[in-house]
């Protein structure tokens, strides 16, 4: 069984293990009791998800730190290897120099021995000459001067031989001294190599320990991701059930294949590539799975409240810019404005008085923007009244809007303008990154694990 299928099967098994016990308990409750129980479980899951996110961030940091440490250790080991190889080469060269020096010492010793023998012969001859009597000298030499010349020559030879012997002895001493010095250098380098080898062995042991720890951390990191996905899936199911109990109207939710076909059709009308359009819709509503979790609470102030927990949002629908348009849109489509889901206000880090909620449908148009584009949608579809909660109408409207925002020349900037704040919360870069992942999937039918999470778990 392929690993991906096995992981999916395991994920479904875990989801069922979590969900089925709750199902049988909830089946015996009243709708009010069930909703209260689900809201309690949802709150617990949201806390778990937050903790998983912290654990995922923490383990990601630990993994990155371990990777850096392992990389540093590998560099150190490689450096030690180079030092050991360099030192071994020097040791080998010193060994050869020592051998050459030993050979020179041996040759010099032979020369010394030969000179000693010659010197001994010369000394012996001088001695023998000194021992001759005057009669023998006179009888053996034609002249007395010849005798003295011979004796002087022997004395001169003796002195030169002794001088040469001294020089050769000095050379031997120098060679032996050089040999000792080379041997000392060789011993010192061999000790250095042993020290380097020990350091390398220690570094290898630490590296293996760090790699083992990183493997355990990566496994734990993956476990947190899987547990987070399971919790998010369960939370999504709970929200869907809460919305069902609250009577939220259903919104058509296309399969990925259906969404892709609609995006391709929208491309023919707008020129915006399907991958970018799908990425925008995924970012805004998870391909129509989440079109808003708030209801309008007041027809005058635009205040909204969260359907699941009744939290109030004073900055729900802008009362001057968007509320009149929202009431007109819902009236034209025959919807109850008090029972039509819109987005809640989201704190984007610019303070409690920044931004508004009230976005509608899969493409999450705010009402005033929808009013600017709805007639163009109707003229293309032939509908009497464009519907922001319709997948087809919302895809087309998003494509037209992205084209207006300059998607043909700069998708990143167009995505940022779509959100209303280029660069804020990395919305634009995330959209373009997901679009590129989707393009690979559309073109080749393959997708990496990173892209899989980015595309299907927004």
For 166-208, the DSSP string reads: HHHHHHHHHHHHHHHHHHHHHHHHHHHHHHHHHHHHHHHHHHH
pLDDT of res. 171: 64
Domain range spanning residue 26?
Answer: 1-246
Give the pLDDT score at 187.
80
Total residue count of the chain as it appears in this document:
458
Among the ranges given (231-235, 249-253, 318-322), the one the predictor scored with the smallest mean pLDDT: 249-253
Highest mean pLDDT among 223-227, 248-252, 377-381, 445-449: 377-381
Lowest-confidence segment of 6-10, 71-75, 148-152, 362-366 by average pLDDT: 6-10
Euclidean distance between CA atoms 265 and 18, whole angstroms: 40
Mean pLDDT of 235-261: 69
Structure tokens at 428: 């634009």
The arithmetic mean of pLDDT across residues 206-215, rounded, is 85
User: Residue 8 has what pLDDT?
Assistant: 46
Structure tokens, 283: 């970012």
Number of independent structural domains in the chain: 1
In a domain, 397, yes or no: no
* Segment among 58-72, 321-335, 381-395 with least mean pLDDT: 58-72
Report the SS3 class of residue 360: strand
Average pLDDT over residues 71-86: 85
- pTM, two decimals, is 0.51
- Look at residue 150 in the predicted model and tell me its pLDDT: 61
414 within some domain: no
CATH code: domain of residue 84: 1.10.287
Residues 304 and 345 sit within 8 Å (Cβ to Cβ): yes
Q: Which tokens go with 379?
A: 């003229």
Report which of residues 146 and 400 the model is more confident about: 400
If 0-12 CB within 10 Å is exposed, 13-18 middle and 19+ buried, where does residue 211 land? middle
pLDDT band, residue 232 (cuts 50/70/90): confident
Rounded to a whole number of angstroms, the CA Rg of the chain reads: 47
Using alpha carbons, list the distances in angstroms from residue 189 to 40, 181, 184, 207: 72, 12, 9, 26
Give yes or no for a contact between 387 and 345, defined as CB atoms under 8 angstroms apart.
no
- Residue 406 covered by a domain: no
Q: Per-residue pLDDT tens for 113-154?
A: 776 676 666 666 666 655 655 555 555 555 556 555 665 665
Measured CA to CA, the distance from residue 26 to residue 32 in angstroms comes to 11
C-alpha span between 380 and 384 (Å, rounded):
11
Contacts of residues 422-430 at CB distance under 8 Å and 24 or more positions apart, as own/partner, are: 424/348, 425/348, 425/349, 427/283, 430/283, 430/454
What integer pLDDT is reported at residue 6 of this predicted model? 46
Domain contains 166: yes
Cα–Cα distance measured from residue 360 to residue 371, given in angstroms and rounded to the nearest whole number: 12
Query: Which of 77-86, 185-194, 241-250, 346-355 has the weakest average pLDDT?
Result: 241-250
**Predicted local distance difference test score (pLDDT) of residue 206:** 84
Other beta carbons within 10 angstroms of residue 302's beta carbon come to 24
CB 275 within 8 A of CB 442: yes
The pLDDT assigned to 175 comes to 67
Pick from 356-360, 396-400, 417-421, 445-449: least confident? 445-449
> How far apart (Å, rounded) are the C-alpha atoms in residues 24 and 40?
17
* CB proximity list for 163: less than 8 A, separation 6 or greater: none
Look at residue 251 and tell me if it is in a domain.
no
Percent of the chain residues topping a pLDDT of 90: 28
Report the range of poorest mean pLDDT among 205-214, 262-271, 362-371.
Answer: 205-214
In a domain, 435, yes or no: no
Concatenating the DSSP letter of every residue in 254-319 gives --HHHHHHHHHHHHHHH---HHHHHHHHHHHHTTTT-S-SEEE--TTT--EEETTT--EETTSS-T
- Provide the 8-state DSSP code for 365: B
Nearest C-alpha neighbor of 221 from the set 84, 60, 113, 65: 60
Residue 280's pLDDT is what?
A: 94
pLDDT band at 264 (very low <50, low <70, confident <90, very high): very high
pLDDT band, very low/low/confident/very high, at 289 (cuts 50, 70, 90)? confident
Any domain includes 299: no
Residue 117 lies in a domain: yes
Does pLDDT of 17 surpass 70?
no
Helix axes 391-404, 274-285, angle to 10 degrees: 110
Distance CA 428, CA 303 (A): 28
Q: Report CA dihedral (417, 421, 427, 428) to the nearest 10 degrees.
A: 40
pLDDT digits (tens, 9 = 90+) for 421-440: 776 768 888 999 999 999 98
- Measured CA to CA, the distance from residue 182 to residue 176 in angstroms comes to 10
How confident is the model at residue 337, as a pLDDT?
93
């Amino acid at each position: 069984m392929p690993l991906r299928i096995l992981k999916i099967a395991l994920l479904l098994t875990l989801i069922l293990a979590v969900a089925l016990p709750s199902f049988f308990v909830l089946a015996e409750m009243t709708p009010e009791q069930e909703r209260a129980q689900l809201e309690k479980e949802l709150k617990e899951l949201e806390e778990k998800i937050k903790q998983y996110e912290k654990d995922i961030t923490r383990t990601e940091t630990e993994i990155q730190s371990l990777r850096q440490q392992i990389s540093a250790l590998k560099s150190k080991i490689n450096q030690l290897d180079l030092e050991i190889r360099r030192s071994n080469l020097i040791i080998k060269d010193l060994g050869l120099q020592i051998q050459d020096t030993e050979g020179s010492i041996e040759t010099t010793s032979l020369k010394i021995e030969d000179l000693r023998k010659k010197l001994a012969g010369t000394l012996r001859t001088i001695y023998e000459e000194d021992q001759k009597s005057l009669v023998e000298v006179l009888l053996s030499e034609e002249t007395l001067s010849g005798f003295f010349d011979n004796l002087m020559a022997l004395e001169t030879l003796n002195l030169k031989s002794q001088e040469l012997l001294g020089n050769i002895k000095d050379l031997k001493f120098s060679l032996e001294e050089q040999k000792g010095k080379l041997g000392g250098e060789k011993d010192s380098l061999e000790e250095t190599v042993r020290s380097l080898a020990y350091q390398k062995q220690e570094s290898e042991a630490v590296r293996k320990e760090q790699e083992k720890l990183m493997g355990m951390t990566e496994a734990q990191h993956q476990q947190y991701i899987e547990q987070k996905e399971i919790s998010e899936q369960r939370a999504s199911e709970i929200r869907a059930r809460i919305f069902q109990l609250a009577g939220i109207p259903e919104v058509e939710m296309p399969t990925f294949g259906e969404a892709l076909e609609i995006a391709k059709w929208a491309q023919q009308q707008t020129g915006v590539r399907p991958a970018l359009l799908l990425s925008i819709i995924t970012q805004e509503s998870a391909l129509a799975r989440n079109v808003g979790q708030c209801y309008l609470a007041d027809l005058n102030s635009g205040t909204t409240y969260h359907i699941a927990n009744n939290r109030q949002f004073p900055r729900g629908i802008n009362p001057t810019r968007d509320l009149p348009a929202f009431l007109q849109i819902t009236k034209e489509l025959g919807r109850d404005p008090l029972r039509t889901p819109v987005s809640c206000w989201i704190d984007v880090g610019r303070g409690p008085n920044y931004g508004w909620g009230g976005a509608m449908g899969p493409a999450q148009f705010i009402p005033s923007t929808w009013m600017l584009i709805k007639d163009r949608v109707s003229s293309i579809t032939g509908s009497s009244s464009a519907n922001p909660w319709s997948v087809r109408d919302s895809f087309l409207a998003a494509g037209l809007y992205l084209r207006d925002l300059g998607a043909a020349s700069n998708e990143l900037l167009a995505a940022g303008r779509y959100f209303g704040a280029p660069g804020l919360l990395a919305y634009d870069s995330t959209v373009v990154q997901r679009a590129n992942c989707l393009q690979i999937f559309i073109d080749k039918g393959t997708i990496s694990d990173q892209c899989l999470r980015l595309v299907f778990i927004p």
